[in-house]
Amino acid sequence: MELQLEELEADAGEDELAAELAARSSTVRAFERKRPSRKPFPDHLPRERVVIAAPSNCPCCGSAKLAKLGEDITETLEVIPRQWKVIQTVREKFSCRECEKIAQPPAPFHVTPRGFAGPNLLAMILFEKFGQHQPLNRQSERYAREGIDLSLSTLADQVGACAAALKPVHALIETHVLAAERLHGDDTTVPILARGKTDTGRIWTYVRDDRPFGGQSPPAALYYASRDRRQEHPERHLKSFSGILQADAYGGYNPLFKADRDPGPLTQALCWARARAANSSCLPTSPPMPNAARTPPRSHRSRSRPSSASTRCLTSSAGSTGLPPTNGCNDAGRKAVFSPPNLRPGCEPRGPNCRAVLRLPSLSTTY
């Protein structure tokens, strides 16, 4: 026992000596606090130069022989409050003394017929409503606080008149988008005010963008609005379209892919993102993690996704991208070929315990 205590004391002394030598030889850099650097203001903003008058005499000795050495500039960001104004367009009348006729210049142009709002005001109302999602009643209240009386019905009339004025532009965008060889379609929910309640409407979006495939046509997006999600809406939107449609597994698109469709069936183009949730139930998982580890490791997260080979196998990838078909995809581009990775024990392909179902609008394949 005494020998063991002596060995422990000797080891402790050696450790203390080694710690002292390491402290003497090592250098610790002092902490240097960095001054916060402010991001400079954008260069496109106009600068208003305010020069403070320099002293005419030296504040120390009173001499008037001063020479400029330089200057220091302090920038302050400021905003000009919104200002309202009324533009009076005066049209003078003249009477001819010979024929007694009255001559007068024509009335100024307005965006809306017999309108009173200028183009800047109309653009602000539309941007606040559709760009900033500010309802017209809130806009009316805010304008009232600024001393401008614009009722809710008046603003609604102006929005409707602008929509009618912009309809030819929408028609040109519609013609350009529907003339594409392939479209990306999707819909999203949007609240719509109703009498005493709020309905769940839909915004239907169809995008034309061939830049990833070497296309030269400019990209564009076409929008439609509806109060529900019935299948008659995509049928009406894509009535004149014939080509490839990439969309989700919403059943409302099924009539577009039927063989008896006029002028012809559309070609389906789907991806593995919609089938990921169902297929991941048959993939091997890691043991349960403790409560402290809430975030799974990267290797565990990657198992919930299809393999790289199956991910590249996109339905109709040969026709939708203009590239040759990848390994695992058929030439027709009508069916999805799925090669599942290592499945969990007891979940063999097409086994009774397998719950992996690839859900497509007109195709359901179980593994």
Residue 200, domain CATH: 3.30.720
Domain extent, residue 226, equals 168-264
- 254 and 209 belong to one structural domain: yes
Residue 251 lies in a domain: yes
**pLDDT for residue 8 is more than 90:** no
Rounding to the nearest 10 degrees, give the CA dihedral for residues 18, 22, 24, 28.
-150
Q: Which of 11-20, 80-89, 204-213, 222-231 has the lowest mean pLDDT?
A: 11-20
113 & 146 share domain: yes
List Cα–Cα distances, 312 to 17, 190, 222, 333, in angstroms.
62, 33, 28, 13
Token pair of 344 as six digits: 């969990």
Specify if 97 maps to a domain: no
The answer, yes or no, to whether residue 186 has pLDDT greater than 70, is: yes
Q: Tell me what the mean pLDDT of segment 285-310 comes to.
A: 46
User: Region 215-235: what's the mean pLDDT?
Assistant: 92
pLDDT of residue 91: 93
pLDDT more than 70, % of the chain:
73
85 in any annotated domain: no
CA atoms within 13 Å, Cβ hemisphere of 131: 6
Q: How far is Cα 304 from Cα 136, in angstroms, rounded to an integer?
A: 45
Same domain, 143 and 207: no
**Domain assignment of residue 237, yes or no:** yes
pLDDT at 293 over 80: no
Helix (H, G, I), strand (E, B), or coil: what is residue 365? strand
Residues 226 and 144 in one domain: no
User: Do 181 and 229 belong to one domain?
Assistant: yes
Looking at the structure, do residues 224 and 275 belong to the same domain, yes or no?
Answer: no
> Does 326 lie in the same domain as 240?
no
Report the pLDDT value the prediction gives residue 38, as an integer from 0 to 100.
80
Given 165, 196, 214, the domain boundary residue is 165
pLDDT of residue 12: 76
Confidence of residue 343 (pLDDT cuts 50, 70, 90): low
Mind listing the pLDDT tens digit for each residue in 78-100?
999 889 999 999 999 999 998 98
Domain shared by 257 and 334, yes or no: no
Residues 152 and 205 in one domain: no
Tens of pLDDT, residues 240-276: 999 999 998 888 899 999 998 888 899 988 766 666 6
| Residue 250 domain-assigned (yes or no) | yes
pLDDT value, residue 13: 76
Mean pLDDT of 130-147: 93
Domain boundary residue, one of 131, 165, 199: 165
In a domain, 1, yes or no: no
Residue 48 lies in a domain: no
Residues 337 and 362 grouped into a single domain: yes
Assigned token pair, 266: 């559309």
Pick the closest to residue 334 from 218, 220, 250, 244 (CA basis): 244
Residue 227 lies in a domain: yes
Residues 203 and 280 in one domain: no
Say yes or no: 148 and 176 in one domain: no
Single out the residue in 117, 150, 165 at which a domain terminates.
165
**203 touches 224 (CB < 8 A):** yes
pLDDT at position 115: 85
pLDDT of 271: 66
Q: What's the confidence (pLDDT) of residue 321?
A: 54
CB-CB contact of 256 with 245 (8 Å): yes
pLDDT (average), residues 337-349: 50
Answer with the residue of higher pLDDT: 214 or 24: 214
When pLDDT is averaged across residues 357-363 and rounded to a whole number, the result is 43
What is the reported pLDDT for 187?
93
Quick one: tokens of 30?
């002092």
For residue 358, what pLDDT is reported? Answer: 43
pTM above 0.75, yes or no: no
CA dihedral 176, 247, 236, 213 (to 10 degrees): 20
Split into its structural domains, the chain has a count of: 3
Q: Rounded mean pLDDT of the chain?
A: 78
